[in-house]
C-alpha cells in the first residue's frame, strides 16, 4: 500500500501541564492521506455471489474496499479544503463564492502495534464538509450529516494489528450546503487517533464549570467513563484543580462502577474560597487534572481548563461580568480566511483572535455554526466572550444530537456565555417555531444550566406566540427601531443585539464606484442600510441592550452583496479577508477602546489629479478634542464625537496630513498620512519570527509596497509572485472581494 498515515503524538492544549502518566495516546493524522477529487461510482452488482458479499460487513466495494488501488491519487495533508482550490466561475453558486462544490474521496492506511490489542481505539474527526460516509476495513462505521459537528468512532471492534493494514476510506459529498456563505469541503478540521485503556474517560467526558456560592465558589466535576472490556470495573476518579503556576488549589475523589460495554458517572465537588476571576481584561485560567485510578495505577487521564467567572443578563442594565456591568462589543465571525478557505491552521486562528482584541472587541458570535475547538481555547486565553451557535434549527434526533454535541464539547469554556439555537428562521414568529425552540432549549438545559439560551431573531417578535417566549435572552438581528417598543412591551426580558450593522465597504477605497464594484470606507449608508456608527449608538445609549455583534469582524468568501459577479466575497467586514483594517476598524477602536489613546486618519493622501478639490477626511478618536493639519496648517479643531467621528473637507495638496488628539488640553496622540511616491520595493512582515517545525504551525506574512523613503504606497496594484525556501506556502490572498486571482 502507499504511504502510511503519519500518526504523531499531539498535545490538544498547547502549554497545558500533563496529568499523571496514563496509557492514553493522542496521535495527529495530518499526513499520509490520498485524495481523489470527484466521485467514483460503485460497480453495478448483478451476480448472486456479489449480491451476497455486498450485504456483509467488511465487504465494501469500489473505492471503499480495503484492496482498492489508490496509488495514482494525490497526496494531501490535513486540514484540507478541496473547494478552496476550485476556480472562481460565473455560473457556480453565488453564495459559495462562485466556487464549485462536489464529491471527493480520502483514504489512508493505519498500522497498529500488536501491543495495542485490548486497548480502546477511537477515531476523532473535528469536522467534515458536508455529508460523509466512513468505511473502516470495508465496513461502514459512520455517516454524518453536517459539516460542523465533530465525529467520534470506536474502531476497536474493527481494528487489526501487526502487519495487517487498516484502511480508512471517506466519501465526502459537498454538494450538500447548510449555509448561504462559503463553507468549504472535505476534511477541513483536525483528525486524530486516540488510544486508551478499555476503561477510560470518554471524549468530552469531563464537565467542570465553576459556580459561585454565597461564601465562595464550588467546582462541580462530573466524569463520564466507559468500559469496552469484558468485565465490570470499579475505579476511583481523582480530580485536582491547579492554577496557572501549577499549584494545587483543591482536590477530591469519587468512586465509579463501570459495567462491561456501559458507561459510569462519577460526581464530586471542589470548594475554592477565593480564586482569581476570569475576565476579558485578565483571563485567568485553571487546569482540572482528572485521573481514573485502578488502585495505584492511572489508567486514563484528561486535562481540561476552566475559569471562575459570574455572568448575568439583566432586563434593565444589560450584561454583568463578575458583578460589574460590561457592554458586549462583539463581532460575528465565519470560519474562512484568505488563501486557505476553511482549512485554517491553529496559528492563523490565533492571529485572527489577536486582531479582534486589538480592535477593542470583547466578544464573538460563531456564525452560524459550532466553531473549531481551537477558537474557544483561544477565546478563553485571550479574553473574548462567545455566543456559541447551533447550525440546524430542528429538534429531530439527528440535528438535536448536533446541538447536544456542541453543548457537551463547549460547556467547560469560561468564554462561552450564551447558547444560540438558531439564526433568522422563517418559523420564528409561529407556534411551531416556539415548540421547536422549547425542545431545543430543554436539551441544552439538560446539559448545562449555567448559561442562558438565546436565538437570533429578525422578525416575529410581536406575534401572539413566537420563539422569544422560549428563550432566556432575546436576540435582535437588526430591527433597531424595535428596541424600545419591545422593551416597553416585555420589560422583564433581557435583550441583546445578536447581529447588527451589515455595512458595506472596500478596504482602501474612498469613492463608491459601481463599475469597479468598490464602496467607500467612510461608513456612509448604502441602500438606506445600517452604518457602524448608528448601529453602535443605538446599543451604547440603551442600558437595557446588553451589547451587540457587528456583521462582520472579517470579510468572508461568498455572499458577495451588494454587487454579485464578479465580486466573490463579502464587503461587510471591519477587516478584509486577510485581516487588514478597513476604516471601520478605526471607527470601532474609537468607540470601543478605553484603556489607551486611539487616533487614526482616513483616507490615504495620494490623490494626484485632484489638486485643490475637497477631499473628505475623517478622524477616529477616543479623546476629548482633535485638530487636523495639512502641511503644518490647521484645518480646524473639533470636540470629538464618540459616535459619528469627526470630519473635514480639505482641498487636496500633496504632503502630510496630521491629526493631533487632546485630553485635558494636552496632546495625547498623533496620527498622520503622507503622499507616497511610486512603489520601488516590497516589505515582508511576518506575524511571528519563528515557527515550530511540526508540520502544523503557520504564520501570516504581510506583503506591502513601499516607496523610496519606505512609506506605504496605498494605490499600488502590482502583480507579485512568490517562492519560498525552507517551508511551504499554504495560501495567498489580497483581501480584494473583486479579485479572482488564485
DSSP 468-499: GGGSSEEEEES-GGGHHHHHHH-TTS-EEEEE
- What's the whole-number mean pLDDT along residues 237-260? 97
From the centroid of its chain, how far is CA 623?
A: 33
CATH pick for 6-196 out of 3.40.50.11540, 3.40.50.720, 2.60.120.260, 3.40.50.2000: 2.60.120.260
Average pLDDT over residues 682-706: 94
**Residue 19 CB-density burial (10 A; 0-12 exposed, 13-18 middle, 19+ buried):** buried
525 or 1, greater pLDDT:
525
Q: Which residue has the cell 488549589?
A: 249
β partners of residue 495: 474, 545
pLDDT 10s digits, 75-86: 999 999 999 999
Do 126 and 143 form a contact (C-beta atoms < 8 A)? no
DSSP 5: P
Rounded Cα–Cα distance for residues 691 and 707 (Å):
30
pLDDT tier, 17 (very low <50, low <70, confident <90, very high otherwise): very low
Whether 160 shows a pLDDT value over 80: the answer reads yes
CA distances from 60 to 2, 4, 304 (A): 19, 21, 39
Q: Residue 3's pLDDT band (boundaries 50, 70, 90)?
A: very low
Q: pLDDT category, 20, cuts 50, 70, 90?
A: low
User: Which among 393, 345, 386, 336 is positioned nearest to 364, based on CA atoms?
Assistant: 386
Average pLDDT over residues 476-491: 97
Position 742 confidence tier, pLDDT thresholds 50, 70, 90 = confident
CA-closest candidate to residue 80, choices 35, 118, 25, 43: 35
pTM over 0.85, yes/no? yes
Q: Which three cell numbers stand for residue 500?
A: 447588527
Given the residues 389, 425, 499, 559, select the one marked as catalytic: 499
What pLDDT score was predicted for residue 7?
54
Does 2 have pLDDT greater than 80? no
Q: What is the mean pLDDT of residues 630-635?
A: 98
When pLDDT is cut at 50, 70 and 90, the band that residue 188 belongs to is: very high
At the fourth CATH level, the homologous superfamily of domain 199-306 is Immunoglobulins (2.60.40.10)
pLDDT higher than threshold 70 for residue 173: yes
Catalytic residue, candidates 424, 625, 627, 674: 424
pLDDT at position 528 over 80: no
8 A C-beta contact, residue 713 and residue 705: yes
Q: Domain ranges in the chain?
A: 6-196, 199-306, 311-597, 605-674
Give the H/E segment covering residue 254.
Answer: strand 248-258
As given in the structure block, the three cell numbers for residue 715 are 494605490
**Does residue 4 carry a pLDDT above 50?**
no
Which pLDDT score, from 0 to 100, does residue 557 have?
97
Whether 524 has a pLDDT exceeding 50, the answer reads yes
Of residues 740 and 371, more confidence is placed in 371
- Proportion of the chain above pLDDT 90, given as a percent: 94
Nearest Cα to 414, choosing from 471, 359, 369, 363?
A: 363
Task: Say yes or no: do domains 199-306 and 605-674 share a fold.
Answer: yes
Grid cell 461580568 — which residue?
321
Phi-psi category of 278—alpha, beta or left, where left has phi over 0 and alpha has psi -120 to 50? beta
For residue 342, the model assigns a pLDDT of 98
Q: Per-residue pLDDT averaged across 544-563, rounded?
A: 97
Q: Which three cell numbers stand for residue 579?
A: 485581516
Spatial separation of the C-alpha atoms in residues 304 and 210, rounded to whole Å: 13
| 111 pLDDT above the threshold of 90 | yes
pLDDT (tens digit per residue) in 327-347: 999 999 999 999 999 999 999
The question of whether 358 is a catalytic residue gets the answer: no
**The three grid cell numbers given for residue 417, joined into one nine-digit string:** 456565555
pLDDT-derived band at 177 (thresholds 50, 70, 90) equals very high
Q: What's the grid cell of residue 130?
A: 458536508
Q: Is the pLDDT of residue 216 over 90?
A: yes
Residue-wise burial string across 621-652, b where 16 or more C-beta atoms lie within 10 A, e elsewhere: bbbebbbbbbeeeebeeeebeeeebbebebeb
Residue 16: pLDDT over 50: no
pLDDT at residue 14, as a whole number: 31
* Superfamily the domain 311-597 falls into: Glycosidases (3.20.20.80)
Work out the mean pLDDT of the chain and round it to a whole number.
Answer: 95
- 605-674 has which fold? Immunoglobulin-like (2.60.40)
Kindly give the residue spans of alpha helices, DSSP state H, lying in 448-540: 483-489, 532-540
Q: Any idea which of 5-14, 24-33, 53-62, 436-445 has the lowest mean pLDDT?
A: 5-14
Q: Give the C-alpha distances (Å, rounded to integers) separating 365 from 10, 148, 379, 459.
A: 28, 15, 11, 19
Round to whole Å and give the CA distance between 706 and 494.
50
Answer yes or no: 499 catalytic.
Answer: yes
Dump pLDDT digits (tens) for 379-434.
Answer: 999 999 999 999 999 999 999 999 999 999 999 999 999 999 999 999 999 999 99
Amino acid at each position: 500500500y502507499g504511504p502510511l498515515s503519519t500518526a504523531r503524538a499531539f498535545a490538544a492544549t498547547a502549554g497545558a501541564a500533563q496529568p499523571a502518566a496514563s496509557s492514553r495516546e493522542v496521535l495527529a493524522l495530518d499526513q499520509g492521506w490520498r485524495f481523489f477529487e470527484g466521485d467514483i461510482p460503485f460497480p453495478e452488482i448483478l451476480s448472486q455471489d456479489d449480491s451476497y458479499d455486498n450485504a456483509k460487513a467488511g465487504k465494501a466495494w469500489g473505492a471503499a474496499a480495503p484492496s482498492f488501488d489508490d496509488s495514482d491519487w494525490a497526496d494531501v495533508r490535513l486540514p484540507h479544503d478541496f473547494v478552496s482550490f476550485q476556480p472562481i466561475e460565473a455560473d457556480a453558486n453565488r453564495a459559495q463564492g462562485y466556487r464549485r462544490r462536489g464529491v471527493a474521496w480520502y483514504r489512508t492506511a493505519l498500522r497498529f502495534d500488536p501491543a495495542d490489542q485490548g486497548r480502546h481505539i477511537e477515531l476523532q474527526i473535528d469536522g467534515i464538509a458536508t455529508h460523509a460516509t466512513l468505511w473502516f476495513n470495508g465496513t461502514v462505521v459512520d455517516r454524518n450529516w453536517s459539516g460542523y459537528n465533530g465525529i467520534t468512532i470506536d474502531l476497536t471492534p474493527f481494528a487489526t494489528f501487526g502487519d495487517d493494514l487498516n484502511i480508512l476510506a471517506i466519501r465526502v459529498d459537498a454538494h450538500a450546503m447548510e449555509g448561504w456563505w462559503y463553507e468549504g469541503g472535505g476534511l477541513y478540521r483536525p483528525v486524530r487517533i486516540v488510544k486508551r485503556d478499555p476503561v477510560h474517560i470518554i471524549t468530552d467526558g469531563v464537565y467542570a464549570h465553576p459556580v459561585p456560592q454565597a461564601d465562595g465558589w464550588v467546582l462541580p466535576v462530573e466524569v463520564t467513563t466507559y468500559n469496552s472490556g469484558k468485565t465490570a470495573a470499579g475505579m476511583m476518579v481523582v480530580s485536582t484543580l491547579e492554577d496557572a503556576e501549577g499549584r494545587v488549589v483543591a482536590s477530591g475523589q469519587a468512586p465509579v462502577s463501570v459495567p462491561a460495554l456501559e458507561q459510569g458517572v462519577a460526581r464530586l465537588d471542589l470548594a475554592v474560597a477565593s480564586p482569581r476571576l476570569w475576565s476579558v481584561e485578565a483571563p485567568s485560567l485553571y487546569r482540572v487534572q482528572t485521573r481514573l485510578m485502578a488502585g495505584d495505577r492511572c489508567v486514563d487521564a484528561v486535562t481540561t481548563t476552566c475559569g471562575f467567572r459570574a455572568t448575568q443578563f439583566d432586563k434593565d442594565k444589560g450584561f454583568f461580568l463578575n458583578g460589574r456591568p460590561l457592554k458586549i462589543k462583539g463581532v460575528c465571525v465565519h470560519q474562512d480566511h484568505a488563501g486557505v478557505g476553511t482549512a485554517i491552521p491553529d496559528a492563523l486562528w490565533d492571529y485572527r483572535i489577536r486582531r479582534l482584541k486589538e480592535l477593542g472587541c470583547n466578544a464573538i458570535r460563531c456564525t452560524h455554526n459550532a466553531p473549531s475547538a481551537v477558537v474557544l481555547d483561544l477565546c478563553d486565553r485571550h479574553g473574548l466572550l462567545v455566543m456559541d451557535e447551533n447550525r440546524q434549527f430542528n429538534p429531530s434526533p439527528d440535528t438535536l444530537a448536533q446541538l447536544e454535541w456542541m453543548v457537551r464539547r463547549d460547556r467547560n469554556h469560561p468564554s462561552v456565555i450564551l447558547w444560540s439555537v438558531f439564526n433568522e428562521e422563517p418559523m420564528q414568529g409561529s407556534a411551531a417555531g416556539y415548540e421547536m425552540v422549547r425542545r431545543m432549549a430543554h436539551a441544552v438545559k439538560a446539559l448545562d444550566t449555567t448559561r442562558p439560551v438565546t436565538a437570533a431573531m429578525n422578525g416575529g417578535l410581536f406575534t401572539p406566540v413566537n420563539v422569544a417566549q422560549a428563550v432566556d435572552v432575546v436576540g435582535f438581528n437588526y430591527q433597531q427601531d424595535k428596541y424600545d417598543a419591545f422593551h416597553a412591551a416585555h420589560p422583564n426580558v433581557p435583550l441583546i443585539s445578536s447581529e447588527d450593522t451589515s455595512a458595506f465597504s472596500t478596504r482602501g477605497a474612498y469613492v463608491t464606484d459601481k463599475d469597479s464594484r468598490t464602496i467607500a470606507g467612510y461608513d456612509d449608508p448604502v441602500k438606506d442600510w445600517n452604518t457602524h456608527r448608528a448601529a453602535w449608538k443605538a446599543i451604547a445609549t440603551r442600558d437595557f441592550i446588553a451589547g451587540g455583534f457587528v456583521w462582520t469582524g472579517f470579510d468572508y468568501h461568498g455572499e458577495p452583496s451588494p454587487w454579485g459577479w464578479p465580486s466573490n466575497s463579502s464587503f461587510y467586514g471591519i477587516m478584509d479577508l486577510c485581516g487588514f483594517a478597513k476604516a471601520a476598524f478605526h471607527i470601532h477602536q474609537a468607540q470601543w477602546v478605553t484603556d489607551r489613546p486611539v487616533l487614526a486618519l482616513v483616507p490615504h493622501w495620494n490623490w494626484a489629479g485632484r489638486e485643490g478639490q475637497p477631499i473628505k477626511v475623517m478622524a477616529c478618536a477616543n479623546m476629548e478634542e482633535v485638530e487636523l493639519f495639512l502641511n503644518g496648517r490647521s484645518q480646524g479643531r473639533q470636540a470629538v464625537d464618540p459616535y459619528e467621528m469627526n470630519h473635514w473637507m480639505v482641498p487636496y495638496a500633496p504632503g502630510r496630513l496630521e491629526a493631533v488628539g487632546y485630553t485635558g488640553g494636552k496632546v495625547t496622540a498623533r496620527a498622520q498620512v503622507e503622499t507616497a511616491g511610486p512603489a520601488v520595493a516590497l516589505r515582508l512582515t511576518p506575524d511571528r519570527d519563528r515557527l515550530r517545525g511540526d508540520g502544523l504551525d503557520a504564520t501570516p506574512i504581510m506583503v506591502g509596497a513601499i516607496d523610496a523613503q519606505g512609506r506605504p504606497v496605498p494605490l499600488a496594484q502590482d502583480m507579485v509572485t512568490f517562492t519560498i525556501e525552507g517551508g511551504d506556502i499554504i495560501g495567498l490572498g489580497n483581501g480584494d472581494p473583486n479579485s479572482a486571482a488564485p
